[in-house]
Chains A and B, each alone.
Chain A
Amino acid sequence: MTPTATWYLVVAALLFSIGAVGMLVRRNVIVMFMCVELMLNAVNLSFVAFSTQLEDVGGQVSVFFVLVVAAAEVAIGLALIVAVFRRRRSGATADDIAELRG
């Protein structure tokens, strides 16, 4: 009994759900970002599982692009958090940023 693609996809679905719940529950923006990373990684895992299943290199190339986008996203997102925190010394939680709504 060796792990099939189905096993990997179930783990990826669980990981994605945990990330989504964390995104909804946590108020610290940095931790919310980490939950986004969890979800991206779950998707990467399913990409590789499909790639192995279908003997196709496209899935692994897609993971490569997801990695690049994730790196750029983290750089910009953390710079945004630094900018927000500089304006509001009290903290950079989701509640503080709620002021942004019109």
Chain B
Amino acid sequence: MFVTVLFVVFAAIALGSAIGVVISRNPVHSALWLVGTLLAIAGFFVLQKAYLLSAVQVIVYASAIVVLFLFVIMLLGVDREESLGDPLRIQRPLAIGLGLIGFVLLVGIMGNRWATGAQTVTGPLRGGSGGNVEHVARALFTTYLWPFELTSALLVVGVVGGVALARRSNAEEEEAA
């Protein structure tokens, strides 16, 4: 019963904050609403006993990524209010209609049989020695070792690309000076 109450609370926070992200005029407010959604999803992870992921969610998403968003908003000064009026009048009703259709399809496709198939194909989730962290780590460093190492290459490419894109070239600096 307690778990159900927590689920409803987290669901309300997640969905309410998500709507807040979409309808806030000010991008800073959107970023702060986003924190609400991300924390509620971390709560969902705890409810499903995915403890490692909930910690990673809070550390990486709710702090690092949101700080990056806020930093860019501050850097660019684009925090002025945006008029939500739309040049294309049909766009908004169309988007909401398409979103509803998408939701109905997502729910309808799966019907009542949400998850079928063999259990525990790639590795056990519980049992044996150790908790959630050990189980995820064992899978990550054995079965998924190669993709895991590849992500480091992806992150290096991301860092180098970010620096290269955001850096002022010398010519531009002289122009500005």
Contact = CB atoms under 8 A, between A and B. Distances in A.
B74 to A, nearest CB: 11
B44 to A, nearest CB: 6
The 6 closest A-B pairs by CB, nearest first: A72-B158, A58-B122, A24-B95, A22-B22, A21-B99, A79-B165
Interface string A34-74: 11011001001100111111111110110111011111111
A21 B117 contact: no
Contacts of B15: 11, 14-15, 18
Given A13-B107, A61-B140, A20 B99 contact: yes
B119 interface: yes
Contacts of A57: 122-125, 135-136, 138-139
Interface residues of B, number: 91
A72 B163 CA distance: 12
A41 B118 CA distance: 25
A78 B69 contact: yes
Nearest to A39: B18
Interface of A: 1-3, 5-11, 13-22, 24-28, 30-31, 33-35, 37-38, 41, 44-45, 48-58, 60-61, 63-65, 67-76, 78-83, 85-86, 91-93, 95
Nearest to A10: B107
Contact of A41 (B41, B64, B112, B122): B41
Interface string B16-59: 00110110100100110010011001001101111011001100
8 contacts: A15-B14, A37-B61, A41-B38, A52-B48, A54-B117, A57-B139, A70-B61, A82-B72
A56 B37 CA distance: 25
B56 A2 contact: no
Contact of B31 (A34, A54, A55, A71): A34
